[in-house]
Structure 1
Amino acid sequence: MNFDLREIATASMILFAVIDIIGSIPIIIDLRKKAGHIQSEKATIVAGILMIVFLFVGKEILNLIGIDVNSFAVAGSFILFFLALEMILGITLYKDDAPETAAVVPLAFPLIAGAGTMTTLLSLRAEYHTVNIVASILVNIIIVYIVLKSSGKMERFLGKQGINVIRKIFGVILLAIAVKLFTTNIQSLFD
């Protein structure tokens, strides 16, 4: 078994930056105001299942359509690059408007386990052992659950400025990860 705490820590940081649950606190708060209640447990479980299933089946889906993981990782590095620019510059390229209900589907899929997260999972698979990626998914699911449960308290504690600072810090980290992912996987395409 290739259990490695360093890989888990790195993969967890990458997923944390991409999921951007702290940056999503304003959307979560809007959902809570509109619907009155957020189904934190269901949203967390569904998002976790989606991520783990995609981690294992995503590669087979790519093989079925004739794309290797390295090519997908290079494509994923572009998505991570633009997500990082979103976070750093405060612009919106990918995210839809806030969902109108607090149901599991808009919260779990587009917000927590969105396209960027799925791309990142397959990109991580090109560099890290699967057991470590699964562990990092579980770490992030726990963090997501805690944030969903305490989003109101976190907003009051961090304030708007605090949330913006955290987003920008993780944006820079994500930008560096995107560059590393690109340079690591682009070489294998030409070998």
Structure 2
Amino acid sequence: MQFNVKEIFTAFMVLFAVIDIIGNIPIIIDLRKKMGHIQSGKASIIAGVILITFLFLGKSILNLVGIDVNSFAVAGSFILFFIALEMILGITLYKQDDHEMMSATVFPLAFPLIAGPGSLTTLLSLRAEFSTENIIVAVLLNVIIIFIVLKTSKKIERLIGQNGINIIRKVFGVILLAIAVKLFAHNIKALFILN
């Protein structure tokens, strides 16, 4: 076991930026209004389990179904693109049936919002650079922050108000759109080089 503070900090910051839980506050508040209640602890734990499982099995799972990391990232970029459009234009592309309401904690919150294609792809990239135990610590630190943000989202909403949320939502929508385009461009290029 070789714990390295610099590696942990770098991996933590990269994951924190990709998961973007602060930028997701408007979506979390939106989900709370639609679904009534979100289990913060359960959502955080499920997201953490998905991330850590994917860290160990991700590449094998993708190889098993004949998908390479670049194709996975391109698919992920489309999901991010549509979430960004929802945020910027104030439209709803993903509609949930009444009988699905209770599952908001798992889907779409824990997956794909927190443990989404962006963060899962990032984990595969980090694994090539850093030791696994440092990445696990970085994931766990992110899970703690996710839990705190989910727990206090109502207080954050009261603090910044509806206009503040709308502004944050649109700003982060544009940022998310840029991340989606970058993820798409980088990986589509890699796909063409590989083929």
Q: Shorter-chain TM-score: what band?
A: 0.7 to 0.9
Q: TM-score, normalised by structure 1?
A: 0.76
Corresponding residue of 1:122: 120
Q: How many residues align?
A: 183
Corresponding residue of 1:47: 47
**8 Å contact from structure 1 (residues 22, 147) kept in 2:** no
Change (3 A) 1:160 1:149: same
**Residues 112-163 of structure 1, C-alpha deviations (whole Å, 9 max, x = no match):** 2223543223322454346576455434422321123223322211211111
Corresponding residue of 2:110: 113
- 2-structure distance, mates of 1:74, 1:18: 24
Cα displacement (A) at 1:48:
1.5
**Residues 53-73 of structure 1, C-alpha deviations (whole Å, 9 max, x = no match):** 134323222111111111111
- Structure 2 counterpart of 1:48, which letter? G
Q: TM-score, normalised by structure 2?
A: 0.75
- 2-structure distance, mates of 1:86, 1:43: 22
- 2-structure distance, mates of 1:113, 1:19: 15
CA RMSD of aligned residues (A): 3.0
- Structure 2 counterpart of 1:167, which letter? R
Report SS of the residue matched to 1:114.
helix
Instruction: Structure 1: state its 5+ residue gaps.
Output: none
Once the two structures are superposed, the pairs formed by residues 82-101 of structure 1 within 5 Å of their partners are: 82-94=82-94, 96=96, 100-101=101-102
- 1-structure distance, mates of 2:88, 2:137: 28
- 2-structure distance, mates of 1:186, 1:30: 36
Cα displacement (A) at 1:91:
1.5
Once the two structures are superposed, the pairs formed by residues 20-39 of structure 1 within 5 Å of their partners are: 20-28=24-32, 31-32=35-36, 39=39
Change (3 A) 1:82 1:118: same
Cα displacement (A) at 1:19:
8.1
Report SS of the residue matched to 1:91.
coil
**Residues 74-93 of structure 1, C-alpha deviations (whole Å, 9 max, x = no match):** 22112212221121111222
Change (3 A) 1:15 1:63: same
Corresponding residue of 1:159: 161
- 1-structure distance, mates of 2:109, 2:57: 19
